[in-house]
């Protein structure tokens, strides 16, 4: 059934044809919004001068719903990639931006998303320097998919590598976990709480820069616990370093409403997706100061040290539960599925 | 988080654990019936904190694990025949004889994962040109909502909604375990949520007949250690009583409204349990008056009977005869991503709980 409302201008296959409709869409929405010297060259791509080491990261965004409490797919596409570049110990500079739009998306929604991309890019200090817009038939996509690739200069003091991780290093989380995933789940399930759970999607690149300015190579690893959640990233760290990860359930920052939503939906917050937070593995001697620095930055006010790298149980994440018991935290096999009862 | 945080409290839990250590004088086997309890015991690391002499045996109370293989095959057949099949989440990865529901979905089946069968009725209302089936598995806990969905469909006059029911009951399963000659269970932790619906009445005869302590227990760490303490105290004192640890939720006569709804739609009948076999009067079947909402009657789904994987010892696991890590395939040929049997799939399955939350590092008692 076609649910298009009469009178609403929508994107159709013509907008992806490469003809005048495409040109119109690009001129009216894309070029107008992202107006910058790189894009204004209107080449097939952009010509950029790079000096020194660069970090490059790409990501595709296919989230449903595309508009959610606390953000939309546009800002997510910027923040996600900006943060991935920052996790390499780099300062994000440029982004590519590619849309795959399903015909029928309203031009208004498309413009809203493009504007969010612009706002998020400005906030994190990156420029959109190349892009692409394709339109697919109805039913062949899900409203809109976005791919972004980020380019960033590696921080002069940045040295992020698994090889730097040592036994005794502290594990710091920059904020509340599971916020984004539960905002999306609550939206999908139509759950309402006393106050709304909002996605915490945001750019953390300036906080990362501050940490690197201040602590340099005492910051051993940075990771963005998006899909697979905190458990996924910590398991990877344990496996890839051949060292143990020991964490305490009581120390993990988890907002009460999010905890309650997880209980209701039968999900474990350790596996719920995050945005806007990161994990830092840092030398033990600077750990307290790193937490302090994070807490003084608006992007890290809820930061906490949740555990350390240990030599006791290589390749395993061991969590001490709220009641003092211990268990292994293993990565998720597939999607986290709600339980029957 | 009221009623949750208090029951995850370190000091109160520790107090009961200390008491358990004080009073335990000899070897005892205590079976927790419910998979949710198994999950919580392992997730919270409680097994590690108990004395060596107190062994927890994991019971058959995992709805996903005991749903017969051929019923999963039937659900898959429906899915492949253009039916909108709605299911609880953890059912979809369980292996049928050839594939799982998740694999049937990937092949184009219209599978919807829902939290409540009432949502399935809404889907049926929106899609009156298609058949909608809810895969109604579970113990007494999910029966009221599944029955209610049938009553809702009737009220809405929907002819395209039905349920593929596989409801099993706890007391007959306990009886089957107790009458097994290999049974080595000294006490039970009763399933709190089941008793919240059904009340306590059904359990007095079990206590009397088999002279075994039963403590109806909740799911949080403090609930569990308190339940274990209460069972242990009875055992050490030579008593056998029905006690209710979960009194904040479970009442003597249960939830009357829920029981009424169950009785209206279902009647007690024989049921097959995956890994255990048929147990007389151990499940709910749909009453004659509501037969048109019974997917098995409606669709004449083929009689598929495939043998279980012979390497899987799910039956022994579910009856508490063996522990997951005592299976030669555990963690080798059988893992959550490639399960040989259902207990490795469901988050309430004993095998999956052991695989996810403990391993050789933390000795599994």
Give the pLDDT confidence of A194-209 residue by residue, as tens digits: 778 889 999 999 999 9
Residue B190 lies in a domain: yes
Residue A142 lies in a domain: yes
Ramachandran angles phi, psi of B207, nearest 5°: -60, -45
**Sheet of A219-223, strand order:** A219-223, A279-282, A170-173, A304-310, A244-248, A317-320, A326-329
Domain end, chosen from A135, A154, A173, is at A154
* B267 shares a domain with B163: yes
- Chains A, B: CB contacts under 8 A, how many? 108
Give the mutation candidate from B42, B45, B48 for the A interface (greatest A CB count, under 10 A). Answer: B45
Q: Where are the beta strands (DSSP E) in B92-249?
A: 111-113, 132-138, 161-168, 187-191, 214-217, 242-244
B127 to chain A, minimum CA–CA distance in Å? 11
Residue B347 lies in a domain: yes
Quote the number of domains for chain B.
3
Quote the number of domains for chain A.
2
Domain end, chosen from A93, A122, A154, is at A154
Domain extent, residue A100, equals: 13-154
Contact B45 A334 (CB under 8 A): no
Contact A259 B1 (CB under 8 A): yes
Residue B120 lies in a domain: yes
Query: Mean pLDDT over residues A55-72, rounded?
Result: 93
Domain end, chosen from A131, A154, A177, is at A154
* B163 shares a domain with B180: no
Residue A263 lies in a domain: yes
* B156 shares a domain with B187: no
pLDDT the model gives residue B107 = 93
- Tell me the DSSP string of B217-248: E-SSHHHHHHHHHHHHHHHHHT---EEETTTT
Contact A339 B356 (CB under 8 A): no
Domain extent, residue B31, equals: 5-62+172-244
Question: Is B347 part of the contact surface with chain A (CB cutoff 8 Å)?
Answer: yes
* B176 shares a domain with B148: no
Residue B99 lies in a domain: yes
A77 to chain B, minimum CA–CA distance in Å? 27
- Name residues 300-319 of chain B within 8 A of A (Cβ): none
- Residue predicted with more confidence, A251 or A5: A251
In 3-state terms, chain A is what percent helix, strand and coil (to 5)? 40, 25, 40
Q: 0.95 exceeded by the pTM?
A: no
Partners of B28 in the beta sheet? Answer: B54
* B47 shares a domain with B186: yes
**Nearest-by-Cβ selection for B337 from A263, A329, A333:** A333
**Nearest-by-Cβ selection for A324 from B10, B90, B193:** B10
* B333 shares a domain with B228: no
* A177 shares a domain with A116: no
CATH code at position A29: 3.30.1330.10
* A241 shares a domain with A105: no
Residue A6 lies in a domain: no
Neighbours of A1 (CB within 10 A): 3
Residue A193 lies in a domain: yes
State the Cα–Cα distance between residues A331 and A338, nearest whole angstrom.
16
Q: Which residues in B lie closer than 8 A to residue A322 (C-beta atoms)?
A: 8-10, 44, 221
Question: Is B95 part of the contact surface with chain A (CB cutoff 8 Å)?
Answer: no
* B139 shares a domain with B69: yes
* A321 shares a domain with A283: yes
Residue B100 lies in a domain: yes
Contact B1 A321 (CB under 8 A): no
pLDDT the model gives residue B89 = 86
* B159 shares a domain with B70: yes
CA A303, chain centre distance (Å)? 17
- Name residues 97-116 of chain B within 8 A of A (Cβ): 102, 113, 115
Contact B221 A327 (CB under 8 A): no
Query: Per-residue confidence of chain B (365 residues) as pLDDT tens digits?
Result: 777 888 998 899 999 999 999 999 999 999 999 989 998 998 899 998 999 999 999 888 888 888 888 899 999 999 999 999 999 988 888 888 888 999 999 999 999 999 899 999 999 999 999 999 999 999 999 999 999 999 999 999 999 999 999 899 999 999 999 998 888 999 999 999 999 999 999 999 999 999 999 999 999 999 999 999 999 999 999 999 999 999 999 999 999 999 999 999 999 999 988 878 889 999 999 999 999 999 999 998 766 566 677 788 888 888 888 888 899 999 888 888 788 888 887 767 888 888 877 654 444 44
Q: Which residues in B lie closer than 8 A to residue A256 (C-beta atoms)?
A: 1
Chain A residue with Cα closest to B3: A260
pLDDT the model gives residue B358 = 64
Question: Is B221 part of the contact surface with chain A (CB cutoff 8 Å)?
Answer: yes
CATH code at position A262: 3.90.650.10
> CB under 8 Å to A309, separation ≥6 — which residues?
A165, A166, A167, A168, A169, A171, A241, A243, A244, A245, A246, A281
B317 to chain A, minimum CA–CA distance in Å? 20
* B58 shares a domain with B10: yes
State the Cα–Cα distance between residues B147 and A271, nearest whole angstrom.
33
- Collapsing DSSP to helix, strand or coil, B307 comes out as coil
Residue range B132-181, pLDDT digits in tens:
999 999 999 999 999 999 999 999 999 999 999 989 999 999 999 999 88
Q: CA angle B275-B276-B277, nearest 5°? A: 105
* B277 shares a domain with B161: yes
State the complex-level ipTM.
0.81
Question: Is B328 part of the contact surface with chain A (CB cutoff 8 Å)?
Answer: no
Residue range B19-50, pLDDT digits in tens:
999 999 999 999 999 989 998 998 899 998 99
Q: Which residues in B lie closer than 8 A to residue A243 (C-beta atoms)?
A: none
* B284 shares a domain with B183: no
* B148 shares a domain with B270: yes
Residue A103 lies in a domain: yes
Give the mutation candidate from A231, A270, A317, A337 for the B interface (greatest B CB count, under 10 A). Answer: A337
* A29 shares a domain with A140: yes
Residue B235 lies in a domain: yes
CATH code at position B29: 3.40.50.11750
Contact A327 B8 (CB under 8 A): no
* A21 shares a domain with A124: yes
Residue B362 lies in a domain: no
């Amino acid at each position: 059934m076609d649910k298009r409302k009469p009178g609403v201008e929508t994107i159709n296959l013509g907008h992806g044809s490469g003809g005048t409709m495409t040109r119109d869409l690009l001129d009216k929405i894309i070029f107008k919004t992202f107006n910058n010297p790189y894009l204004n060259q209107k080449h097939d791509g952009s010509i950029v001068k790079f000096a020194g080491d660069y970090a490059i990261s790409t990501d595709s965004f296919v989230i449903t719903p595309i508009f959610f409490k606390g953000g939309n797919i546009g800002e997510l596409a910027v923040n996600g990639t900006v943060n991935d570049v920052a996790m390499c110990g780099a300062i994000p500079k440029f982004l590519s931006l590619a849309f795959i739009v399903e015909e029928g998306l309203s031009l208004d929604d498309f413009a809203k998303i493009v504007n969010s991309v612009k706002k998020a890019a400005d906030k994190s200090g990156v420029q959109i320097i190349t892009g692409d817009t394709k339109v697919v038939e109805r039913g062949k996509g899900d409203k809109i998919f976005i791919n972004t690739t980020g380019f960033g200069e590696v921080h002069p003091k940045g040295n992020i590598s698994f090889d730097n991780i040592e036994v005794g290093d502290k594990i710091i989380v920059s904020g509340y976990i599971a916020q984004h995933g539960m905002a999306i789940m609550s939206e999908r399930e139509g759950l309402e709480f006393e106050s709304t759970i909002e996605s915490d999607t945001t750019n953390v690149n300036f906080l990362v820069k501050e940490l690197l300015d201040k602590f340099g190579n005492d910051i051993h690893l940075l990771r963005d616990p998006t899909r697979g959640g905190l458990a996924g990233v910590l398991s990877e760290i344990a496996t890839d370093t051949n060292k143990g990860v020991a964490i305490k359930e009581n120390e993990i920052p988890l907002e009460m409403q999010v905890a309650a939503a997880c209980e209701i939906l039968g999900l474990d917050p350790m596996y719920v997706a995050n945005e806007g937070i990161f994990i830092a593995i840092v030398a033990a001697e600077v750990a307290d100061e790193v937490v302090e620095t994070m807490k003084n930055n608006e992007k890290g006010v809820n930061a906490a040290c949740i555990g350390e790298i240990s030599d006791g149980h290589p390749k395993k994440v061991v969590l001490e539960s709220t009641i003092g018991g211990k268990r292994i935290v293993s990565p998720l096999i597939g999607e986290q599925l709600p339980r029957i009862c | 988080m009221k009623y949750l945080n208090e029951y995850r409290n370190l000091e109160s839990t520790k107090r009961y654990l200390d008491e358990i250590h004080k009073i335990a004088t000899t070897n005892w086997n205590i079976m927790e019936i419910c998979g949710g309890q198994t999950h919580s015991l392992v997730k919270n690391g409680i097994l590690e904190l108990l004395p060596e002499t107190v062994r927890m045996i994991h019971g058959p109370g995992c709805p996903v694990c005991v749903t017969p293989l051929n019923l999963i095959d039937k659900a898959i057949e429906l899915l492949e025949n253009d039916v909108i099949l709605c299911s609880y989440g953890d059912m979809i990865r369980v292996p049928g004889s050839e594939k799982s529901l998740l694999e049937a979905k990937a092949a184009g089946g219209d599978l919807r994962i829902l939290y409540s069968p009432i949502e399935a009725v809404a889907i049926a209302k929106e899609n009156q040109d298609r058949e909608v089936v809810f895969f109604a598995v579970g113990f007494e806990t999910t029966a009221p909502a599944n029955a209610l969905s049938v009553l809702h469909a009737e009220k809405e006059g929907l002819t395209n909604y039905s349920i593929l029911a596989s409801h099993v009951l706890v007391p007959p399963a306990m009886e089957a375990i107790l009458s097994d000659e290999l049974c080595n269970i000294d006490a039970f932790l009763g399933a709190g949520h089941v008793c919240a619906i059904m009340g306590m009445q059904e359990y007095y005869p079990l206590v009397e007949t088999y002279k075994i302590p039963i403590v109806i227990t909740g799911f949080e760490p403090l609930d569990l250690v308190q339940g274990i303490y209460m069972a242990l105290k009875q055992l050490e004192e030579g008593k056998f009583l029905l006690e209710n640890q979960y009194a904040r939720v479970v009442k003597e006569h249960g939830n009357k409204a829920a029981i009424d709804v169950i009785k209206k739609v279902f009647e007690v009948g024989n049921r097959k349990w995956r890994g255990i076999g048929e147990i007389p009067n151990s499940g709910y079947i749909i009453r004659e008056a509501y037969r048109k909402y019974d997917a098995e009657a409606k669709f004449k789904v083929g009689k598929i009977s495939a043998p279980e994987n012979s390497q899987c010892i799910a039956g022994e696991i579910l009856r508490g005869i063996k522990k997951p890590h005592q299976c030669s395939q555990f963690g080798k040929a059988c893992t959550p991503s490639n399960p040989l049997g259902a207990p490795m799939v469901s988050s309430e399955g004993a095998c999956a709980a052991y695989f996810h939350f403990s391993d050789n590092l933390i000795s599994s008692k």
